[in-house]
Chain A
Amino acid sequence: MLGLASISLVLAASIVIGVWGVKAARSTPDFLVASRRIVPGWNALAIAGEYVSAASVLGLAGLLVKNGVGAMWYAVGFTAGYVLVAALVAGPMRRSGAYTVPDFAEYRLGSPRIRRMCGLVVLVIMLLYLIPQFKAAGVVLELVSGIPYWIGVVGAGLVVASTIAVGGMRSATYVQAFHYLLKLAFIAGPALFLIILAGPERRHAAIHPAEVDADWMRPMLDLGDSGHPVLATVSVLLATTLGAMGLPHVVMRFHTVAGARAARRVAVSVIVLLSAFYLFPVVYGLLGRVVAPSPSETDVIPVLVPGAIAPGAVGAVLTALVAAGAFAAFLSTSSGLLLALAGGLSHDLFGGSLQRLRLGVAVGTGLAVALALPSEEVDINVLVGWAFAVAASTFCPLLALGIWWRGLTATGATVGLLIGAGSSTGAALTSVFIDIEPGAVAILLAQPALWTVPLAFAAMILASRPSSVPEWASEAVLRLHLPGRYSAEPPRPRKPLDAPGEAQAPLPRSGLGPTEGRGDGGDAIR
């Protein structure tokens, strides 16, 4: 019951901060990107808070116990992705001034069709990512309070949807920053305690797993004993690293900072925050192998470890803390994902008002909850891995080529997106529904990034005809790499506006935050 109480406290605190953060979400830009008024430090915390999901808090430790130390590659890939974000995406993406990836695609390729296609891809990625979050909420609630899995999942859906629909992104930023700190405190604090409480014997056993079988110890991800651990590891690493770069909800976050420089720096700060966090799930995994070697549900290992190490009141308190941390992970990630999903549904697919955006939140939650109900048996990291694989095979090539290669055309992007999304989701679905004997083929279907990413890149490059790139598209790319003094001019409205005063309205400089020293805050778009 202590666990349920602490979860309720997290929830209450999130709502209070959310309400405090709502300076009223009035318009779409307000709702989606908090009118770009968010300070970089908060932003980095919020990105990390949103990113450290149930996959990191629960799934990582669970997979570690189940499959071996190779599971740590997930954490490495999740973090390595931000090197690519800092190097390839953050700055130029911010300069484009686009809200979402579909917005960017339209800016760069000038085709409303491609925007709708991107909107669809956003839906697929976000849903794949949301399902395991709801699964996590369900299993944690079931463990700490005995609530049946399905009630936990549905309840979690209601809570998240209502907080988002009321607050939008501005509140989400503060809530998520708070959640990062909460997760760090509630996962790291108990972990340190547990290391001490475990005693020398169990500590020794945890960090000298040499006595266990060599397969578990090999720092490779051998999925389902396929016999090709290096292949599987490389494919997972590729999916997580490149996928992080193409995650729509992460890319969206960079539009809330003041400018391109700040965006890049935020990405670097995120690496620091993630590095600090990812040490601790490993602690639970290593200890979990010793104290809870074969639970029926590996995804709740971190919640089981405290009770196994310290029975009694101390254990109960620590369990409650970890459960609250896990719930915070669920809450923050799913609200970020839902925002991106709702954005995709209303803003990119149907053309959106705030009303539709809220409807989008409700629809997205409903879909994710419905799909999470039958997914209780699937490992969190397997599902999250697919979300990353799809992102790596679609938006990663779209952004990498769109930002750095002027030759990319709308046709090329369309073909590449179709092939990337089709092959990666197709492979994942095949591996679910068809039983294939373990081996290289099984790996390449369950972890398809190794071949779908190059395929998508190749398709985009081959289907584009660089010679036919119009001048404005080439200029659009150039602007992405120019510091503010070139691109920060106030954009001139294309149409005469009904109120004469509006045409002279200055760029909302005052709203751009104090950080950008050189005035590099401009939007090339609109």
Chain B
Amino acid sequence: MNQRVRITSPQTRLALRRRTDAMRPGGRRAGRPPIASTAIDIDAAERALRRQRRLAVRTVLSLGGALAALLVAADLAAGRLGWAVLFFAPYPVLLALAAVHVRRAERIESDS
């Protein structure tokens, strides 16, 4: 009667069990897919990946370009305004880059 019973939601129990299964040495399915077993549309997925990747590469390159430009601009303005360039200029640029990326990424997702 005095036995303690642990009360958790079924989800929590599932999560915990998966956790411990995965953590037990040797209990891990070597080389088995740790993913959901539902089928996906491979062709559509390939297209989505490729479009997202192109977008990601473009954003990374733009970021690199923007930072390089900022470096040059700050150095050219050194002296009077160098600090002001670094104080004001970077953040709107960074925000714009991220916001544009997210908008485009979401558009790709709603297309695919």
Contacts and interface: CB of A to CB of B under 8 A. Distances in A.
A489 B98 contact: no
Given A217-B79, A267-B98, A80 B63 contact: yes
A272 interface: yes
A208 B71 contact: no
Interface residues of A, number: 87
A241 B14 CA distance: 38
A318 B36 CA distance: 55
Interface string A204-229: 00011110001001111000000000
B1 to A, nearest CB: 22
A111 B15 CA distance: 19
Given A29-B12, A80-B63, A476-B35, A482 B18 contact: no
Nearest to A505: B10
Interface in A64-78: 69, 72-73, 76
Contacts of A72: 83, 86-87
Given A209-B83, A505-B10, A87 B56 contact: yes
Contacts of A462: none
B94 to A, nearest CB: 5
A83 B60 CA distance: 8
Identify whether the interface residues of A are mostly helix, strand, loop, or mixed: helix
Interface in B10-50: 10-25, 28-38, 40-42, 44-46, 48-49
A491 interface: yes
Contacts of B109: 261, 483, 520
Interface string A177-212: 000000000000000000000000000000111100
Contacts of B14: 493, 497, 502, 505
B40 A87 contact: no
Most chain A CB within 10 A, of B19, B37, B41, is at B19
B67 A351 contact: no
Contacts of A282: 83, 87
A84 interface: yes
Given A218-B78, A268-B98, A486 B83 contact: no
B90 A486 contact: no
A502 B11 CA distance: 8
Contacts, number: 219
Contacts of B34: 106-107, 110, 476, 525-526
Interface stretch (A50-58, A230-238, A433-441): A230-238
A27 B101 contact: no
A479 B49 CA distance: 9
Interface in A236-281: 237, 241, 261, 264-265, 267-268, 271-272, 274-275, 278-279
Given A218-B78, A237-B67, A268 B83 contact: no
A487 interface: yes
Nearest to B92: A275
Nearest to A99: B19
Given A27-B16, A76-B90, A208 B80 contact: yes
A195 B95 CA distance: 27
Contacts of A230: 71, 75
B18 A526 contact: yes
15 contacts: A76-B67, A83-B97, A87-B56, A107-B34, A107-B35, A110-B31, A112-B22, A241-B63, A475-B35, A475-B40, A476-B33, A479-B35, A483-B110, A487-B38, A489-B36
Interface of B: 8, 10-25, 28-38, 40-42, 44-46, 48-49, 52-53, 55-56, 59-60, 63, 67, 70-71, 74-75, 77-80, 82-87, 90-92, 94-95, 97-99, 101-102, 105-106, 109-110, 112
Interface of A: 26-30, 69, 72-73, 76, 79-80, 82-84, 86-88, 91, 106-107, 110-112, 207-210, 214, 217-220, 230, 233-234, 237, 241, 261, 264-265, 267-268, 271-272, 274-275, 278-279, 282, 286, 347, 351-352, 404, 470, 472-473, 475-479, 481-483, 486-487, 489-495, 497, 499, 501-502, 505, 508, 511, 518, 520, 523-526
- Enumerate the 3 nearest inter-chain pairs by beta-carbon distance, A residue then B residue, closest first: A472-B33, A351-B23, A275-B91
